[in-house]
Structure 1
Amino acid sequence: MADLMSLYQSDVIQEIPEPPPLYSTGITALDRSLGGGVPAGSVIYILADPESMSEIFLYQFTQPRKTYYFTTERRPQYLIQDIASLGFKIDKITFVDIYSEYYMSPQGEMIDNTGNEYVDAKIVELTEEHLKNIQNIEEGESNIIIDSFSFYLSLNLNPGRIKHLLNTIYEITKSLRSLTYLYGLKDTHDRSIEHEILKQCDAIFDISLDKTGDRVQNKLAIPKIRGMVPTTEMIKFKVEDGIQIDTSRDIA
């Protein structure tokens, strides 16, 4: 038994890979705060205050490389309009229109599938099929954005089915060495399920909105990022022509 364990440990040691390269987020000041970017092959969960306009982060994340953008909340044409209005390019974005698959009939009419367990299971299967197709065709650097993952957490499904989807996302991200961003809303979902997701993801971008007196302040915290030392400071930002990171320091 000892010899077998020794052999197993030796095999594991020989298979330790080189550290992954760092990929730019598309926000230069954020890359600097992180020490150069985010490790390739990372699944990042964006824990967002819905009032903070945090979706602008997603739009800017599309800029450095080819991006597969899964949209569950709106049709792609509305996203294209918003992304272009900020001066961002859309030529590297391939949209995967989950919204229309779920909410629209083949004739283009709005339908209500809310709570339909069969339809909910099928939309997860379709999402996994799209992810596997991306894995089969993609060879270069890429992003995957799921806007939003809250959509899947709100479906009428066994938690194990969501875990299977998350595992599929995780394995494909590692295989492609891509960056995958899962966009989720704060204070919306069962905490035990959310904790499981936060545990599995490689990094957490926690976006909050502080209201003090007559001022509103957007903040980003990064409490977790595997393979790197997480930043201990709150990162202030403004939404202007995209995300503008405030590089000034507070004086105590």
Structure 2
Amino acid sequence: MEPLPTGISVLDREFGGGIPSGSVVALKAEPASQSELILDRFSRVRECRYLTTVRSADAVEASLAPGDDGTIVRDATGDDPLATVLDAAAALPDGGTVVVDSVGPLEAGEGYGEFLSDLRRRVADAGGLVVLHALKAGAPDRNRIVTEQVADVVFDLRTTVTGTEIANRLVVPKFRGGAALEEPLKLKLTDSVSVDTSRDIA
């Protein structure tokens, strides 16, 4: 399986070039975090179908990086959001990326497990990736557990606030087809994504 870059250079180095094609990636994050910047990076490196289940398509397009012409944003808030996502995945260009932002409303639907299997197959057929934005909200329900179990790669963005800083650490506890990170990666998430090289003082 060809490694596909994430758009975050330090991760691509750690993962030997990127994430294996055909993979399902779950990005776990707090709703008030800057996790959308990570989605933006994923959407920039290849042609992308960006499915939004909460925000309007116009709002998503306005927030994407300027010149990001390879991303097509679609609204998945209609009567059958699962079908909307699957249709977008079926039309995915070779090596493309599907971003689902966020997966929570889809997890609430009937037939979610079957949907995930179908989504994985369609993305694998295109040799692409799917990124599921899995926002943390209270106790995980049954289908959130399904999301994490089916995912080949789990990114867990942990944001902590102290009196002097906001710290973002990316934990990668699961990586099928590769090596998970042995320790958290400290990121700077402002208007872009970079590695925080400042020294932690306990």
Fold conserved (TM > 0.5)? yes
Distance 2:161 2:200 in 1: 17
Counterpart in 1 of 2:130?
180
In structure 1, the gaps of 5 or more residues are 1-19, 103-118
One-letter amino acid matched to 1:230: A
Q: Does 1:131 align with 2:89?
A: yes
Pick from 27, 34, 44 the counterpart of residue 53 of structure 1: 34
Query: How far does the alpha carbon of each residue in 1:170-209 deviate from its partner, in whole angstroms, 9 at most, with x for none?
Result: 1112211101100011134643322222111100000111
Q: Does 1:94 align with 2:105?
A: no
Q: Does 1:152 align with 2:106?
A: yes
- The alpha-carbon deviation at position 39 of structure 1 amounts to 0.9
Check conservation: 1:204, 1:223, Cα contact below 8 A.
Answer: yes
One-letter amino acid matched to 1:27: I
Distance 1:235 1:61 in 2: 17
Matches within 5 A, 1:1-252: 20-84=1-65, 88-99=66-77, 102=78, 119=79, 122-132=80-90, 134=91, 138=93, 140-154=94-108, 157-158=109-110, 161-188=111-138, 190-247=140-197
- The alpha-carbon deviation at position 249 of structure 1 amounts to 6.3
Distance 2:38 2:140 in 1: 25
Check conservation: 1:46, 1:181, Cα contact below 8 A.
Answer: yes
- Normalised to the residue count of structure 2, the TM-score between the two structures is 0.90
**Shift >6 Å, 4+ stretches:** none
Check conservation: 1:49, 1:209, Cα contact below 8 A.
Answer: yes
- Paired residues in the alignment total 202
Distance 2:45 2:147 in 1: 26
**Structure index of larger Rg:** 1
Distance 2:29 2:70 in 1: 25
User: Identity across aligned pairs (percent)?
Assistant: 28
- The alpha-carbon deviation at position 43 of structure 1 amounts to 0.6
Distance 1:27 1:72 in 2: 25
- The alpha-carbon deviation at position 76 of structure 1 amounts to 2.0
Counterpart in 2 of 1:107?
none
Partner SS, residue 62 of structure 1: helix
- The alpha-carbon deviation at position 45 of structure 1 amounts to 0.5
Distance 1:129 1:61 in 2: 20
In structure 2, the gaps of 5 or more residues are none
Distance 2:168 2:57 in 1: 26
- Normalised to the residue count of structure 1, the TM-score between the two structures is 0.73
Distance 2:138 2:117 in 1: 22
Partner SS, residue 129 of structure 1: helix
One-letter amino acid matched to 1:129: D
- The alpha-carbon deviation at position 250 of structure 1 amounts to 5.2
